[in-house]
Chain A
Amino acid sequence: MVSPRPDGLGEILEDSDLRAAGAAHKVALTLKIRRYNPEVRGEESWWDEFEIQADPDDRLLDALHQVKWYHDGTLALRRSCAHGICGSDAMMIDGKNALACKVIVRDIAPKVTVEPIRGLPVLKDLIVDMEPFFAGYRSVLPYLINDSGEPDTERLQSPEDRQRFDDTTKCILCAACTTSCPIFWGDEEYVGPAAIVNAHRFVYDSRDEGGKERLKILSEKTGVFRCRTTFNCTEACPRGIEVTKAIQEVKRSILFDRF
């Protein structure tokens, strides 16, 4: 089906053609979803199963929409951008935290289990109370602190200094890391990985002057030393941030930089 191409293009086009063509066949997908609705069953949670036909290229989010739109309108979940940037749809999917919009049906069919992220109070179905999570975020002073006055143009920063904190600028505050952390599950006082990531983003920014203050906050008993380096957070991060490494860097700065 591939027409003649200039040198070097033929094989690649054919390959991609096949991938795009693969979208034509639907597959069966069973979604086992943990439900909770205080208006319907009080404090009891339960499981529901839905069987749908889905495009293998669809996102799990598309499949959840199919359930919500055509099977059970009461199913509650958060979502917005649907391509892994807004951070709304973190869920526990087959036992691991991920964004429903970054999990593809072909990778989970024929059956997937979906639960709310752990460690935060469930409010309805897949929706949890995010306030404790954002309180942790706010506690680390997540904004640039610089009282030295502003130049007329930009502050200078070398590409190397900029690169120093690049990884932690990617955070979308989806809570996948924090709610995969066994320490956080057991101790709601712990600020959790995401808050530390957002502190890291400023601590290692050469323009920032609030590092000492932040490191002091993170050296307290609710801070970084709760971390037991289980690496769940790094595995869970949909943005590929090396969360555990960032936490370790903050620990080292507290121990050795004598702030």
Chain B
Amino acid sequence: MTTFHTYDTVIVGAGGAGLRAAIEASERVKTAVISKLYPTRSHTGTAQGGVCAALANVEEDSPEWHAFDTVKGGDYLVDQPAAQLMCEEAVDAIYELEHWGLPFNRTPEGKIDQRRFGGHTRNHGEAPVKRACYAADRTGHMILQTLYQQCVKRNVRFFNEFYVLDQLMVGGACAGVVAYELATGEIHVFRAKAVLYATGGYGRMYKVSSNAHTLTGDGPAVLFRRGLPLEDMEFFQFHPTGVYKMGILLSEAVRGEGGILLNSEGERFMERYAPTVKDLAPRDMVSRAIFQEIKEGRGDGPHRDAVWLDVRHLPSDVIEEKLPDVTEFARVYLGVEPTTELVPIQPTAHYAMGGIPTDVDGRVVVGEGETPVPGLYAAGECACVSVHGANRLGTNSLLDIVVFGRRGGKHAAGFCADADLPELPERPEGMVRDMVDGLLNRPEGANAADIRGELQDSMQELAFVVRTEESLRKMQEILVGLRGRFERVYVQDAGRVFNTELMEVVELGFLLECADALVAAALARDESRGGHYREDHPLRDDANWLKHSLAYREDDGSVRLEHKPVKLGPYVPMERKY
């Protein structure tokens, strides 16, 4: 049985970007939010350190400095007008969150307090600047809670634990989505003038990741399968300070508050790699530095593959008031007391810079000419505006979701006001129905956990912080094999009620799509830039590669790549030193 719904705007995902878009759209047009989780479970809630805006509450600052840092931090692959706009709108976006009740930490004068974060500097790189607004080390939690509270206040319509599995297109325009209801196994068709994807990242393709189990690239994969491009997929951020082996994030705020990194010799090695900002260099540089230290034999721990995060010298009130959660992670998951002991860390797959290509209004755009797809929108980590370029600066993800969630939601609602309700294609639920029935009726086959485990292990080994042509070619071969096995994957649970096994298998399929695009784009890009480091091509190559990648799924299963120029601006690409 299929249930049909009709809305003006459908928002897919209920993290920060989706909720912010929902607030905007629901005030204007009939809006539904479809989320595979209860909204407060979304991964925005795990962001810790802060959200940057040049409020200048503590030190002199300007949105222009913020924009410069964002562009330089992104290794000049950032679309500069988008970054300028984001950093200018940042200030009002923070005040808006405060007006909605977000409990920011305060200065003695009662203003929003600010602290240092990696790559954020005063006057184009002179010294670190206090730009990150924060609520202890649970800033993301407070943003998610605050936005959800505003949705409760506005009676936003949620469909919780519904998985969007297909995008409906008619005549090249959006017609709605098809979703699977976890509680009942029912399929729902949502006819809609506009659909905004805000499904987050896909870090679960790696073994060591800070990402939730549910971050499986659903939105990008659904659109990729429908022939839409994915932009800059080769750029994935590996956060330097993940809990050893587990990958749980230990916020950059730890270093913002004065924590330092040590190698096995007790040396503060970042002084050699980034003499000016040291431990507060951008994440890609710190992660590579850690790799280099380990490679040269200065890693520690039983396998010599960890370095240390040291906060023993910080005042106890800083640790208790500003870093309580991070401290607790070390205690619970490592059995380490960070006030007196060193914390073993290693880089962890953290954030997708790439994703669904959009303009600054959240419109999905295709091709070199950036033609908008009528009615189709994306925002947040699943989107690529591109404000993060080749490497996102810490805190800019939380900024991205509120700025572009708002812009996308507003534009989508405006689009709906002028658009007619689209006709549905014939048998709109067909693809999803066939996929679900196919999986449930297969009597035996491959184990999904084995496929997932091999994907994660091999991506970790071959497409992580350091990549080569050889490693990526090998990864491509592995992916062909994994996709073949996935065609025969077996679901033991044949039921309709809360068949979480079925949805985990579908999510694995999404991860494989995203990994395919990532590896193809990484193999083609024979340069090093931001989060994409090719050991066989260690230098940035602006002559050939100052351009975005666009990956398309072809009918024969291969990935085709196109490129489009970076939108430049006032900042001329220069060597990235800190």
Contacts and interface: CB of A to CB of B under 8 A. Distances in A.
- Counting chain B CB atoms within 10 Å of each CB, the highest count among A20, A138, A142, A207 belongs to A20
A77 B101 contact: no
Nearest to B43: A81
A162 B105 contact: yes
B101 A123 contact: no
A69 B101 contact: no
B40 interface: yes
Contacts of B138: 85, 169-170
Given A143-B150, A208-B101, A85 B46 contact: yes
A138 B152 contact: yes
A134 to B, nearest CB: 8
A70 B101 contact: no
B521 to A, nearest CB: 28
Contacts of B46: 81, 83, 85-86
A37 B301 CA distance: 45
A139 to B, nearest CB: 10
A155 B264 CA distance: 47
Interface string A134-167: 1000100011101000101111111101100110
B98 A155 contact: yes
B341 A15 contact: yes
- Counting chain A CB atoms within 10 Å of each CB, the highest count among B101, B150, B344 belongs to B101
A20 B495 contact: no
Interface stretch (B107-115, B121-129, B376-384): B107-115
A104 interface: yes
B99 interface: yes
B544 interface: no
A117 to B, nearest CB: 14
Contacts of B107: 159
A57 B136 CA distance: 27
B288 to A, nearest CB: 23
B280 interface: no
A166 B103 contact: yes
B111 A156 contact: yes
Nearest to A6: B266
A87 B335 CA distance: 22
- Counting chain A CB atoms within 10 Å of each CB, the highest count among B55, B109, B141, B245 belongs to B141
Interface string A19-59: 11101100000000000011110000000000000000101
A72 B495 CA distance: 13
B341 A144 contact: no
A244 B333 CA distance: 27
Nearest to A138: B152
A158 B112 CA distance: 10
Given A72-B492, A80-B213, A130 B38 contact: yes
A205 interface: yes
Interface stretch (B411-419, B420-428, B469-477, B496-504): B496-504
Contacts of A37: 495, 497
A186 interface: no
A226 interface: no
Contacts of B265: 3, 5-6
A255 interface: no
Main secondary structure of the interface of B (DSSP, over half): loop
Nearest to B103: A169
Contacts of B262: 9
Nearest to A240: B328
B473 to A, nearest CB: 30
B40 A173 contact: yes
A118 interface: no
Interface string A152-192: 11111111011001100110110000000000000000000
* Size bin of chain B's contact surface: 35 or more
A20 B344 contact: yes
A33 B235 CA distance: 42
A143 B111 contact: no
Contacts of A6: 265-266
Given A86-B45, A87-B41, A205 B101 contact: yes
Nearest to A207: B101
B454 to A, nearest CB: 13
Given A20-B344, A39-B495, A74-B501, A83 B99 contact: no
A87 B40 contact: yes
Interface string B107-149: 1111110000000000000000000000110100110010001
Nearest to B158: A134
Nearest to A155: B98
15 contacts: A9-B262, A16-B343, A21-B302, A24-B302, A39-B496, A74-B493, A78-B500, A80-B43, A81-B46, A138-B152, A143-B150, A157-B106, A157-B110, A162-B105, A205-B103
Interface of A: 3, 5-6, 9, 12-13, 15-17, 19-21, 23-24, 37-40, 57, 59, 68-70, 72-74, 76-88, 102, 104, 123-125, 127, 130, 134, 138, 142-144, 146, 150, 152-159, 161-162, 165-166, 169-170, 172-173, 202, 205, 207-208
Interface of B: 37-38, 40-43, 45-46, 55, 94-95, 98-101, 103-112, 135-136, 138, 141-142, 145, 149-150, 152-153, 183, 212-214, 244-246, 248, 262, 264-266, 300-302, 306, 308, 325, 329, 332-336, 340-344, 447-449, 491-493, 495-501
